[in-house]
Structure 1
């Protein structure tokens, strides 16, 4: 299994930010990375991060503070 993030703008357009890590060994690694990197991703124009397990969507979350 390969864990990845897909990054999207608010309208659903896929974005490729600078420094976005490609693959993770597990869900915990992916979630730790997004927790450390979300502010930079927002600065790079990302609104939503979608966690993928291979091609299966696990969940999507906004990167904007409530």
Structure 2
């Protein structure tokens, strides 16, 4: 995992954060469906998507408070 990922996310605009969050939620849904049907090739990706989602939500909340 890149140590600068949080810094990169914090530099994004509110619209870009919203778009990335929407994309990650869609990917999470697809991964859950793949897991349920037994087609999931990389189970670690679920954790990566969840953590990236949390990073984006944290950045959004920080921007709202600032």
TM-score, normalization by structure 2: 0.33
Higher strand fraction: Structure 1 or Structure 2?
Answer: 1
Q: Which has the larger radius of gyration?
A: 2
Structure number with greater CO (CA < 8 Å, separation at least 6) is 2
